[in-house]
Amino acid sequence: MILIDGKKVAAEIRSELKEKITLLKEEGKNVPGLVAIIVGDDPASHIYVSSKGKACLEIGMRTKTEIFDADISEGELLEVIKYYNSNNDYHGILVQLPLPKHINEDLVIETISPRKDVDGFHPVSIGNLVIGKDTFASCTPAGIKELLNRYKIETKGKHVVVVGRSNIVGKPIANIMLQKAEGANSVVTVVHSAAKEISYYSKQADILIAAIGKAEFIKADMVKDGVVVIDVGINRIEDSSKTKGYRIVGDVDFANVSKKASFITPVPGGVGPMTIAMLLSNTFKAYELYGK
């Protein structure tokens, strides 16, 4: 079994981007910029946005965080987004979700210029992904594909089973993997909570992508020998032996499934670190396409 080290790959991506940005600075050129917009005081959201800001600074990317009270009106927030749509110093716009209930998340996402949609959530980005055009792919699915590529895992003609159908992971990774492209070109099955028996499908997987949001849901008897396992789940379970009283596990029973897998991602340290790395990569891509 080979452990897929997301921390290592994410560090490689950041290093590659840093080299490119350093060269831009040496040539006296503008550098890529990412603005993060956060509404309210959700601790997890603030920690996540802070991590993104630190990653930007690490590679020399321009970064800014706009923080607004939870009672900001929808109209005011949309005006902020429109301002950054036309601001040439910032090539990516990230609005941290979730938003307060009085703000329409769909409208907010649709107001972001597709040229600056580095989260890959805009309907234009999703539509381009489905029909196979070059676009901004959602960061977590893009990170999954990058892990498969960098570990030279064969995907052509392989049966990829995606457990979960969210708009953030399940649907986009399914569309990415079925494209007739290098590092994809797979036969894809999406299975979800409506299935009578998920194991019927998961046992068929050459590559299993678990994104169902249930702690250690995928057991060893649900996969075949030699399977490649990508675990997207991040779940807290009680553990009195830990200082915080809990530990983080994935959607896969790692201890037992890893005994049957050829490759597997750990949780934490697998897919998670790739999400921010791909956000930076998408921002650099936006700069190259539209910002020079």
Same domain, 181 and 246: yes
Same domain, 223 and 175: yes
- Half-sphere exposure for 61 (CA within 13 Å, toward CB): 33
Residue 285 located in a structural domain: no
Residue 143 located in a structural domain: yes
Same domain, 147 and 210: yes
Q: What is the mean pLDDT of residues 2-24?
A: 98
The total of structural domains in the chain comes to 2
Averaged pLDDT of the chain: 96
Same domain, 99 and 147: no
Q: Which of 113, 129, 152 is the last residue of a domain?
A: 113
Same domain, 92 and 187: no
Q: Which of 5, 52, 145, 251 is catalytic?
A: 52
Q: What are phi and psi of 61, to 5 degrees?
A: -85, 140
**Predicted local distance difference test score (pLDDT) of residue 240:** 86
Same domain, 93 and 211: no
Note whether 252 and 233 are within 8 A (CB).
Answer: yes
| Band (239; pLDDT cuts 50, 70, 90) | confident
Of the listed ranges 72-76, 118-122, 137-141, 287-291, the least confidently predicted one is 287-291
CATH number at residue 153: 3.40.50.720
**Predicted local distance difference test score (pLDDT) of residue 2:** 97
DSSP annotation of 196 reads S
Q: What is the pTM of this model?
A: 0.95
pLDDT value at 265 more than 80: yes
Which tens digit of pLDDT belongs to each residue from 220-234?
999 999 999 999 999
Residue 193 located in a structural domain: yes
**Which segments of 151-263 does DSSP mark as H helices, in order?**
170-178, 198-202, 254-257
Strands 228-231, 207-210: pairing is parallel
Same domain, 97 and 204: no
Q: What is the mean pLDDT of residues 19-44?
A: 95
pLDDT value at 9 more than 80: yes
Look up the domain containing 217 and give its range: 139-272
Same domain, 164 and 216: yes
Residue 185 located in a structural domain: yes
Same domain, 104 and 143: no
Residue 13 located in a structural domain: no
Residue 58 located in a structural domain: yes
Q: Which of 95, 113, 131 is the last residue of a domain?
A: 113
204 is catalytic: no
pLDDT value at 69 more than 90: yes
Q: What is the mean pLDDT of residues 68-97?
A: 97
Same domain, 256 and 219: yes
| Band (43; pLDDT cuts 50, 70, 90) | confident
5 is catalytic: no
**Predicted local distance difference test score (pLDDT) of residue 42:** 86
What is the distance between the alpha carbons of residues 217 and 65, in angstroms, rounded to a whole number?
Answer: 36
Note whether 265 and 271 are within 8 A (CB).
Answer: yes
Q: Which of 5, 96, 117, 145 is catalytic?
A: 96
Same domain, 189 and 268: yes
**34, β-bridge pairs:** 63, 92
**Predicted local distance difference test score (pLDDT) of residue 117:** 98
Q: What is the mean pLDDT of residues 88-110?
A: 96
pLDDT value at 126 more than 80: yes
CATH number at residue 43: 3.40.50.10860
**Predicted local distance difference test score (pLDDT) of residue 25:** 96
pLDDT value at 292 more than 80: no
Q: What are phi and psi of 37, to 5 degrees?
A: -115, 125
**Predicted local distance difference test score (pLDDT) of residue 255:** 97
152 is catalytic: no
Which tens digit of pLDDT belongs to each residue from 164-211?
999 999 999 999 999 999 999 999 999 999 999 999 999 999 999 999
Residue 7 located in a structural domain: no
pLDDT value at 219 more than 80: yes
Residue 210 located in a structural domain: yes
**Predicted local distance difference test score (pLDDT) of residue 216:** 96
Same domain, 147 and 93: no
- Half-sphere exposure for 198 (CA within 13 Å, toward CB): 20
Note whether 7 and 66 are within 8 A (CB).
Answer: no
Q: Which of 119, 206, 231, 253 is catalytic?
A: 119
What is the distance between the alpha carbons of residues 164 and 202, in angstroms, rounded to a whole number?
Answer: 12
Q: Which two tokens stand for residue 230?
A: 């990508």
| Band (111; pLDDT cuts 50, 70, 90) | very high
